[in-house]
Amino acid sequence: MNFSLEGRTYVVMGVANKRSIAWGIAQSLHNAGARLVFTYANERFEKPVRDLAATLDRDDSLFYECDVTSDEAIEQTFENIKNDVGVIHGLAHCIAFAKREELSGEFLNTSREGFALAQDISAFSLAAIARSAKDLMTEGGSILTLTYLGGERVVENYNVMGVAKASLDATMRYLANDLGKYGVRVNAISAGPIRTVSAKGVGDFNAILKEIEERSPLRKPVTKEEVGDTAYFLMSDLSRGVTGEIIHVDSGYNIMGY
Ligand code: NAD
């Protein structure tokens, strides 16, 4: 069995800055020997992503703009990646968005437009991306997305994003069934709260973090490096029998009752 990712290429979507969970995943995959392909939402993120990748100790990464609200952009991005690298062995989907005003107060007040937007960027994009990416996974592959407990249970203020994560979880399972016959596995990591730009948009995020410190079995918040190492497991042959699964990397918080 091969634990190394040397000679393999992985697409990491959603690095915005050094706090991004996607960056933790990129570092773990890089340390395991993988070549990385980064995609970013728009030109504003190009320099930060390139600057971060320049801190890695190999200079073999590739960069593409890909706004996942556009089918054409997704198709074109994977066409470009195919032309440049040929085969990919996995993909990390680390993308979500909801309007800030819908991440506090009551879910009841969610707007039709805000609901659709959160679903489109945070859940449907996984399906659209998987459709294009699978054609490049001719040697089999592993697709990974990032979800959160707020899709399984009610977490105050998470609201419309919780519903989008429930949809993402189901999307992941349906894709796992469709893509298994091509040797492509699809899984999710349910990360505990980590202070990122996206997380800061969730109302009273500090209270969610404090709860993890006080009540999770490990009594500490998780780090993006811990999520990254589980991503490495899911991208490697060690997890070859795992698909359609949600792995909680949350200091064990999800097992707790009251
Ligand atoms: P982040 O803000 O660093 O990353 C979110 C990324 O989504 C950014 O790079 C942003 O550019 C990208 N994005 C948004 N709209 C896009 C679009 N239209 N096209 C392409 N990219 C777009 O925050 P993060 O916390 O690292 O988030 C990564 C993933 O992890 C998200 O799915 C998030 O819901 C999930 N997650 C985060 C936490 C947490 O506490 N931080 C916990 C569990 C799950």
Angstrom distance (rounded) from CA 67 to CA 94: 13
Q: Is 198 annotated as a binding residue?
A: yes
Q: What is the ipTM of this complex?
A: 0.99
Percent of the chain at pLDDT > 90 equals: 97
Pure H helices in the chain: 21-31, 46-53, 71-85, 112-119, 125-133, 159-179, 197-200, 205-215, 224-235
CATH level 2 (architecture), domain 9-249: 3-Layer(aba) Sandwich (3.40)
pLDDT digits (tens, 9 = 90+) for 27-47: 999 999 999 999 999 999 999
Residue 253 annotated in active site: no
Catalytic residue among 10, 40, 64, 158: 158
Average pLDDT of 120-132? 98
pLDDT digits (tens, 9 = 90+) for 76-90: 999 999 999 999 999
Please state whether 219 falls in left (phi above 0), alpha (psi between -120 and 50) or beta.
Answer: left
Q: Indicate which atom in ligand 1 lies nearest the CA of residue 190.
A: 43
Inter-residue contact 117 to 160 (CB < 8 Å): no
Ligand 1 pocket: which of 95, 97, 145, 223 to mutate (most atoms within 8 A of CB): 95
Q: Provide the pLDDT for residue 111.
A: 98
pLDDT digits (tens, 9 = 90+) for 130-188: 999 999 999 999 999 999 999 999 999 999 999 999 999 999 999 999 999 999 999 99
Q: Provide the pLDDT for residue 203.
A: 85
| Domain range annotation of the chain | 9-249
- pTM here? 0.98
Angstrom distance (rounded) from CA 33 to CA 6: 4
Residue 148 annotated in active site: yes
Which residue type is seen at 14? Answer: G
Ligand 1 pocket: which of 196, 247, 249 to mutate (most atoms within 8 A of CB): 196
Q: Which one has a higher pLDDT value, 22 or 204?
A: 22
Q: Indicate which atom in ligand 1 lies nearest the CA of residue 16.
A: 9
Angstrom distance (rounded) from CA 116 to CA 214: 35
Q: 74 C-alpha to center of ligand 1: Å?
A: 17
Catalytic residue among 10, 40, 64, 148: 148
Q: Indicate which atom in ligand 1 lies nearest the CA of residue 168.
A: 32
